[in-house]
Structure formats: structure tokens, C-alpha cells
Structure 1
């Protein structure tokens, strides 16, 4: 029996092609959803782009038939727009809220189609809770939701003999065939800790280069005099300093050093080694693309409050080096570092730059795609963020741009990912991160 899926506005704003992801079932779009999309179509942000794209897709379908009666999709299902304005809302729901009108549409369809299952699809947690209160089944849009096992950490530990570890140090490589205890394959640039199965528990840290396990190349490097304080930070620096790796994702909770390591590596590659012409740093204003007009001044002044954590890290590096060459004002004056609003990145090509996107856990899948596709020749993209601390109300640990990007690129040789675990900001910050 075909199901009826009722789509909330945020589903189309996150993925305008979501209507095609329900196989041969029927998709219903309440009129209230179209009204909300219409209100957002003039925005210059990704929200506005997705609103316009959703309207374009529906217009194409309208050419194939009457959306009021239902237009057939290639999958065998249909898409239909339902007008529910004349019906009274259930007791307790105010008609002044669009969400309530959308829920009312789904309730009406449930009452009208007693022989079929009606499911509300929404990325809004509160809306799903209200649906539950009215006995209406509600689900998150799962086409891009990662399962627990799909969240890529970029690291694994493998037990082996101490003789194999000795061989690794002597020959500086070992093949996968020599690791009898390896249960599954490794991905390019995935890190491995080889641990001896004897009482001494000897270890070796390696990176898979696509063919063999090899030692880390940058384990002695200290970019901008910032050294790795733990195993995962060493892995992160390995990815950040390797110019052959064009896309790096670094995740971890607060205080693990994600942003500091990325900026230190960027300064090393731009200021010291001159491997790139500029260090471009950006952070999403939640939501990405929110208008900056409410703050006074030019773009840099408006971005100042949002970029303060970046400046704090630069100040820390200047203090560590006791050298003014990393002072951000001097770097800004020399055009070696640039502050960019993500709002205006669409349509650009950004060549020969070391690009850091901080707080990337607040980006949607489409926003991440928009940013990555802007990378020009000889540019390197770094995404950092804490997937356990998401401000976007429509994203979560299993559905955010940072984890999604790491998952999609985990088998590409030009990409690498590592999840930082140990907090290094301070003892107090680490205890607070674990307890609070």
C-alpha cells in the first residue's frame, strides 16, 4: 500500500529535490509550505536559492499536469499540492502559525485516508513533537542522514605482532596483506595505530597512502611554533601540511585545537612557505547567509564579532612566537589573510588559497557543496567544527555538512579526515566539556 508523505517547508529548503526521494509513494505539499517558500525567495542567501529552486522544480512538474490533482513522478509516485485553508484546525492549534497549518493538513489527510499511512516529514524537532501529541506519525528526512557506523573518524587501531612493527620502522612501509587481523579495508589517508600484541604493547603510528601503511611525514613539524600535543593532533597536522591533500575535515569537541591547528598550518603554508597566495578564513553566521546589515561598518567590521575566535587564535600564535609577523592586522594590510562572508561565496572561484571554514557543523549539505565547488586551482579547503554542538535547528550529529563531507570524501586520495578527542585548551575547559 502506498504511503502519503507530507513535507514540511524546511525539507525543501534543505533539499529542493527531496520530493524525488520517496520512491513510488505519494508526496503532498501543503499550501502553507508554498507560502513560506514564497516569503523566502527574494533572499540572497542559500535559503533564498533553495526556495527559488523548489519553486522551479514544482513549476516544471506543473507543466506535466495539475498539481492539485497530483502529477506522476518517474518513480511511480505522485506529488500534489493540498489546500487546507477552509478546514478548522484541531483544538489547541493556532491558525496564525504556518507550522500548525501544515500539521493540520497532515491530520486532515490522515482522517480522509484511513486505509493508508500518512507520515509528516520535517527536520524541525518541535514540529515532530506536536505531531506526536496529535497521534500523527512524523519522521526526519533521512535521505542524507548518516547511520552511526557511517560517521567516519579517520582513524583505527590494529593489533599485530611486534616483529611487524619492527619491520615497519626498518622498511618504513608495510602492505595490507601483512596485516592478518585487518577485518576491513582502509581508506586513503586513514590513520592507523599499530599495537603489538605482546606485554610491552609497542606501537607505531601510520597513514595509509592508498597502497601501503607509511610513517607520518610531518611528525616533527611545528607550524608557527604550534606543536601537536596528542596523537590525533599529530594526525591533523599531517593532513593540514600535506599540499597534495586538497580537502581536510577536522572535527572534535570544544578545546581540542581544531581551529588553532588549522590557522597555524595556514600561516605556515602562506606566510612562511609561500605555498599559497592567501589565507582565507570564514565562519558561518547562523544560519549561513543571514544578512549582515544590522551591524554597522563595512564587511570586515560586521564580521568582527563572529571572527573574534579566529583573532584569539592568531593572538595566541603571536604570543607563542613573540614575533609580530603573524599579527592579524599586518596580515590583513598585506592581503595575506582575508575575512570572507560566506553569504557572498556563490559564483566565485577561489584559486591558490588556503581556505579555512570554521564551525562547519552548522552548514547544511547544500551549503557545503556550494563552498567546495568554489575551490579553484591550487587551493586547499579546511573544514573544522564540533558535530556535538550544533546551533542550526534543522541539523544534528547524524545530519550536518561536516560529517556528511567527511563521509562522502573518505575514499578519495585528495581528501582526509580526523576526529580530535582530547581537550587541550585547559584542565578546566576539558572537565567542563565532559561534565556539563
Structure 2
């Protein structure tokens, strides 16, 4: 059955290519959506860029015919701009205020009522597609079908890739590993599937304390022991298995893309900074350590900040400085600034200034990557030059961006897209190591 898809503004601001994501269905853009897009087009951020992009797309389609009559799309669908389809009266009894969301719902409901008057053979299902949870709830109250927007390349499983798996095996398999220092993939249970640079924890299926920690080779054919011993790195020692596996990825120069996810206090930033300092300052493997994070506030923004660029960025970058102070074991306030001035190889920057750059030979750390969109992640990773390594990390459950969620954010997107690539590795950190209080807060609050 063909559908009539009524698009909410946030879908187009999230992904302008959503116009072409619904196959042979009829796409309806309410007139109020154009007004909302127009109000965003002057913004200098991702929303503004997408607003301008969708405006140009619609303008190019306008040359084919009249948008209010319907424009045929190359994929067999039909695109139509609807001039508020009849009246607002259909939803006024339930939602009195004429907000933009309610006007979009009125368009969808009027279409739905029209379809109910047709024969079953002629009838089309009306679906409102929105990233706004409350719009979907309101649509359900009105008896409409409502869906979140997911492009075809979405991560379909809500059980996200963790970067490791635990397997129960016969103790002889563990003994074989310690004897040969490696295993072939075909020595694992038949149903086991592994990917490049994934970790495997072997446990005795009989119940003894025998265990082993292995890493899948880049070609995916064998499992080897970890290269690193558990020695301190800039005063930091892995406190659990996941942290040790994360360090293995961070210190492997053959893996230029590493992603880390986990709750607050699991050690993502500290581990990445320690690895970066080792590679840049001690081993001289990279010319510079570049640390950046998006400028996205948690809660109410504090407005414009006084001073030069460095002074403006300091409040946003303070979590980075806190970790650097711990690694450098500074005693007084301001010591870390003096150290960084003397060490020109360390640069703390806002992601705002990444666009347009080419970054070769650097160890790059992107913190709070869960607040990035797919396009922003693509922009950042495509800046990485020859001989560089990039680490993206964050907590997909702590998102401050209005149009992103745990599955649609840039960090989850890049984890899923690169999970089978030989040049990438991922680790999900689970156990909080900041403090007992921080661990309980992450679990209970």
C-alpha cells in the first residue's frame, strides 16, 4: 500500500535528503514547515546549513513544475507542498493552541479523514514522520500513524556494538591459546562471529577460573594475545578489562580510528589523553596532540563570554583541562596553562575551527562526540590527514543536541559504519572508576 508521508520540520533539518528516503510514497511538506525552515536559514550552525540545503533542493525541484500540484521524484515518489490543507478545526477540539506542531498535525489529520472516505482499494495510509517525541504522541492521540525518521543507513539494532564479547569455551581451547599464543577463528564455537580488532574474553564453560583475553587480528582470521602489558602510561594504569582493551586500541598505530563510548566516569577522556601524551611527547610518533569538543551547553546557556578566543573557550574546555591537570600532577591553579604554553605540541581547540583544515601527523581527540550529527562526524573524520590518528568518544545516553538521540547521533553512526573495517576499533567502557559516588550516580540517577 502506498503511503502519504507528512514530514515534520525537524526531519528536514536533521537530514535534507529525507525528501528522497521514502521510495514511491507521496511526500507532503506542510506550508508551516517552510516557514520554520525559513526562520533557521540564517543560523551559522548545522541547522542553518541544513535549512539552506533543503531550500536549494526545493528550489531546484520547483523548475520541474508547481510544488503545490506535486513534483515527481526520480525514485517514483511524489513531492508536494501543502498549503495548510483545509482547516485547523479538525484538531482544535483536542489541541486548542495553533502552534506550528498542531498545524502540521492538522494537515496529516485532514489527509487521513479524506482517505477514510475512499474505497479500500483507493485508500492510502497517512503517516506523520517526526523526530519530536511529543508530536508522535499527539499524532497517536488523534488516531494517526506516527514514526521516527530513520534513513536506510541507520543502525537497526538498539543493542549497540560493544567492541568485545565473552565466550564460554572448553578449557582445552584456553590451554591451546596459552600454548600457541594465538587461536584461529575456526577454533571458536561455530556460531561465533567476530570482526577486525574486536576483543574476545574466553571463559571456562565448566566453571573454573581459567580465562583469556584476546584480540582479533586486522584481517579477522586469528586471535592474538594483547600486545601491551599492564604498565602505567603517564601514571595511568588500566583498572578493568575494558580499559585495558581501550588502551590496546589507543596505542596501536595501525588503527587510525578509535571510538570509545561509556557512561560518565569510566575513564574515556583520561585514557585517550594519556595515550596521546605518550605517543606525542615520549615516542614522538605524532607531531601534535589536538584535543577538541563541540560547544554544546548542558542546560541553559550562559550567553556570550568576554575575552579573547582562548578565554571564551576555557569554560567549554574545562573538562579537558581537569584531566590534563591530573596527568601533569599540577599543584596550583594556572600551572597547567604555563605547561601548555611551554609545550607547543598540545593544542586544545573547539570543533568550530576544524572545518576546512587538513590535519596530518597528529593524534586527534574529539570529546563529547555524541553531540555531533552524521554530517559533522563526516566533516571531522574527513579532515584527518596522512599519518594521523583520531579518537572519538562520548556517552550516547547523554545528548544535549535537540535533534539527536542514542541511535541517530554521530558517535553511534560512526561506530556502526566502521565496525567491520580493519583500520578502526571500538570499546564500550562500562565500569565507572572516577569514584564510588560517581559510579552510583551514573547507575541510580
- Please report the TM-score for the alignment, with normalisation by the length of structure 2: 0.90
Asked if residue 138 in structure 1 is aligned to residue 170 in structure 2, the reply is: no
SS class of match (1:148) = coil
Match for residue 119 of structure 2? none
Return the alpha-carbon distance in structure 1 between the equivalents of residues 199 and 332 of structure 2: 34
Q: Which of 354, 374, 382 lines up with 2:391 in the alignment?
A: 382
SS class of match (2:379) = helix
Instruction: Give 1:148 shift.
Output: 3.1
Asked if residue 17 in structure 1 is aligned to residue 6 in structure 2, the reply is: no
Return the alpha-carbon distance in structure 2 between the equivalents of residues 328 and 236 of structure 1: 28
Match for residue 120 of structure 1? 128
Match for residue 120 of structure 2? none
Instruction: Give 1:292 shift.
Output: 10
Return the alpha-carbon distance in structure 2 between the equivalents of residues 303 and 126 of structure 1: 34
Q: Is the 8 A contact 1:424 1:430 kept in 2?
A: yes
Asked if residue 310 in structure 1 is aligned to residue 320 in structure 2, the reply is: yes
Asked if residue 111 in structure 1 is aligned to residue 113 in structure 2, the reply is: yes
User: After the TM superposition, which of the residue ranges 28-37 and 144-153 deviates more from structure 2?
Assistant: 144-153
Return the alpha-carbon distance in structure 2 between the equivalents of residues 75 and 85 of structure 1: 25
Match for residue 358 of structure 1? 367
Summarize the Cα distance change of 1:20–1:221 in structure 2 as closer, same or farther, 3 Å threshold.
farther
Instruction: Give 1:135 shift.
Output: 2.6
Match for residue 88 of structure 2? 88
Return the alpha-carbon distance in structure 1 between the equivalents of residues 370 and 186 of structure 2: 37
Asked if residue 49 in structure 1 is aligned to residue 49 in structure 2, the reply is: yes
Match for residue 234 of structure 2? 224
Match for residue 100 of structure 2? 98
Taking CA–CA contacts closer than 8 Å with sequence separation of 6 or more, which of the two structures ends up with the larger relative contact order?
Answer: 1
Summarize the Cα distance change of 1:199–1:110 in structure 2 as closer, same or farther, 3 Å threshold.
closer
Give the ranges of 4+ consecutive aligned residues of structure 1 lying more than 4 Å apart after TM superposition: 290-293, 321-324
Match for residue 348 of structure 1? 357
SS class of match (1:60) = helix
Q: Is the 8 A contact 1:314 1:328 kept in 2?
A: no
Return the alpha-carbon distance in structure 2 between the equivalents of residues 431 and 50 of structure 1: 40
Instruction: Give 1:293 shift.
Output: 7.8
Over the aligned positions, Cα root-mean-square deviation in angstroms equals: 2.4
Q: Is the 8 A contact 1:287 1:362 kept in 2?
A: no
Q: Which of 183, 201, 204 lines up with 1:193 in the alignment?
A: 201
User: Which residues in structure 2 correspond to 1:14-413 (within 5 Å)?
Assistant: 14-84=14-84, 87-88=87-88, 90-91=91-92, 92-95=95-98, 97-114=99-116, 115-143=123-151, 144-148=153-157, 151-179=160-188, 181-209=189-217, 210-286=220-296, 294-319=304-329, 327-413=336-422
Deviations 1:190-245 (CA, angstroms, capped at 9, x unpaired): 00011123342311101001221001112334321111000000010011111111
How many residue pairs align between the two structures? Answer: 431
Summarize the Cα distance change of 1:323–1:265 in structure 2 as closer, same or farther, 3 Å threshold.
farther
Return the alpha-carbon distance in structure 2 between the equivalents of residues 195 and 330 of structure 1: 45
Return the alpha-carbon distance in structure 2 between the equivalents of residues 363 and 351 of structure 1: 22
